[in-house]
Structure 1
Amino acid sequence: MKLGLISDIHGDPLALELAWSHLTVMGADRIVCAGDLVGYGPYPDRVVAFLEERQVASVRGNHDRWALERGLGVPDEYGGGPPSAATLRALAALPSHLLVADLDQIGVIVHGSPRSDMEFIQRRTHPPATLRADLRALDANLLVVGHTHEPMWFRCDRGLVVNPGSVVSMPVVKKSSRTFALVDLTERSVSFHDVESGERIPLDPWPEEDPAPPSKRS
């Protein structure tokens, strides 16, 4: 199975449509989203409608959760457009995690981490031992995360950890990689792509081993 990965759309339907179009042409068997459909950008309703119409499953991100906590008609402190009642109902139905399977390959999609939608998976805080432990605890071959707006991937004997980055291209979001990803579950391989052009972006994986501690001089 070729799994298309998008994340952190933040009310930007144009970037979403571009990423979806590229992934469809690339032969993605299924496309999933790692959350944050709303927040920052002005068009939350268009984003949610697009995903629903094309049956793109998504998890709930922290901005989606905050929109629900604010409720209908309450301004977004991050400047995002106000979600309609229908959009809020759709956000309320989003799960905290998704499962995808292809024969014996199991993938888990979350927003921040398996523990929290606010946890940033970063190299300095999540060494290889932690990522392996997450894959082992989930009994999964693939863990997909978002939230950081930065693409990354890690591969070990347990499987893959992948962040596709953020698709959003609007200037209202200062930090965005403007990327999406395509994972081959069978081959356990991943490629990253520019939202506008669809061109592949080279990205080295995180190291498979923890860095060696500094040697002590006697």
Structure 2
Amino acid sequence: MNTKIGIISDPHATPGPVEEALSIFRQEGVEHVLCAGDIAGYGEALDETVDLLMANACACVTGNHEAWYLDRAADKEDSSTYRYLSGLPASLEMVVKGRGLYMVHASPPDSFMDGIRLLDECGEPIDEQRAYWTGRLQGFAYDVLVVGHTHQVFAERLGDTLVINPGSTLCNHSCAVVSFPKLQVEWFALSGQTLLKSWNWGMNQFSQG
């Protein structure tokens, strides 16, 4: 019996695509929903986005935009949004059907800036980046690594680990469903848009995402 996990990332304070992804996940029969961070930033509907994630029991990790929001929003410490974002972990671990999964916004163990960027501006793999990150992940003790941050869409096996970036629900118009234990990944486009494999290529690996 398969167990399905729905994965989103980088919703950037825009609830519409998140709501659509959650609807897809319900149709696909997912048992858990993961969000790889950057709930805040860019958009204007952070409270609504947080409420949506909370109402659907999404397991989230923090991203760089959460850190920046919390630094600027000291006057909102009593709000439910502030409390939610300030309580997010840097990483999350779980076991699904005997497969170890680790989620972090950018790269393990707990970076939210050092993003895994495997694709060029056309969405094609960069061999040098694959080799670099394969080396970086040598000895990584998990079957699946879920990341966000770079606004790229990929599921690539690097060494012994399947690295999945579902892309940004806002920028890449994408979400993913992963079936365990076979680790089959299915992609879904959002907002009536074509799924963009790579977005905002002008940012370098260590810039804001």
Band the TM-score falls in, shorter-chain normalisation: 0.7 to 0.9
Aligned CA distance change for structure 1 residues 118 and 129 (closer, same or farther; 3 Å):
closer
SS at match of 2:107: coil
1:187 counterpart residue number: 182
Would you say the 8 A contact 2:153–2:172 is kept in 1? yes
1:178 counterpart residue number: 173
Q: Distance in 2 between matches of 1:49 and 1:65?
A: 19
1:207 counterpart residue number: none
Whether 1:131 and 2:134 are equivalent positions in the alignment is yes
Q: Distance in 1 between matches of 2:48 and 2:146?
A: 24
Q: Deviations over 1:95-124 (max 9, x none)?
A: 001112123201011101115201121124
Would you say the 8 A contact 1:44–1:83 is kept in 2? no
Would you say the 8 A contact 1:132–1:158 is kept in 2? no
Q: Distance in 1 between matches of 2:91 and 2:13?
A: 21
SS at match of 1:126: helix
Would you say the 8 A contact 2:172–2:196 is kept in 1? no
Q: Distance in 1 between matches of 2:129 and 2:143?
A: 18
Q: Which ranges of structure 2 fall in alignment gaps of 5 or more residues?
A: 119-125, 198-209
1:211 counterpart residue number: none
Q: Name which one, 1 or 2, has greater alpha-carbon Rg.
A: 1
1:100 counterpart residue number: 94
SS at match of 2:80: helix
Offset at 1:94? 0.2
2:9 to 4, 7, 10: 7
SS at match of 2:22: helix
1:118 counterpart residue number: 113
SS at match of 1:15: helix
Q: Distance in 2 between matches of 1:63 and 1:31?
A: 20
Would you say the 8 A contact 1:165–1:179 is kept in 2? yes
Q: TM-score, normalising length from structure 2?
A: 0.80
Amino acid in the other structure paired with 2:95: A
CA-based RMSD of the aligned residues comes to 2.4
Q: Distance in 1 between matches of 2:47 and 2:20?
A: 17
What percentage of aligned pairs have identical amino acids? 32
1:162 to 146, 152, 164: 164
2:21 to 10, 15, 19: 19
Q: Which one is further off, 96-105 or 51-60?
A: 96-105
Q: Distance in 2 between matches of 1:146 and 1:50?
A: 19
Q: TM-score, normalising length from structure 1?
A: 0.77
Amino acid in the other structure paired with 2:184: S
Q: Distance in 2 between matches of 1:110 and 1:151?
A: 15
Offset at 1:157? 6.0
Would you say the 8 A contact 1:151–1:177 is kept in 2? yes
Amino acid in the other structure paired with 1:59: V
Q: Deviations over 1:48-94 (max 9, x none)?
A: 11111111110001001111111235xxxxxxxx8972211100100
Offset at 1:136? 2.8
Offset at 1:156? 5.2
Q: Which ranges of structure 1 fall in alignment gaps of 5 or more residues?
A: 74-81, 169-175, 204-218
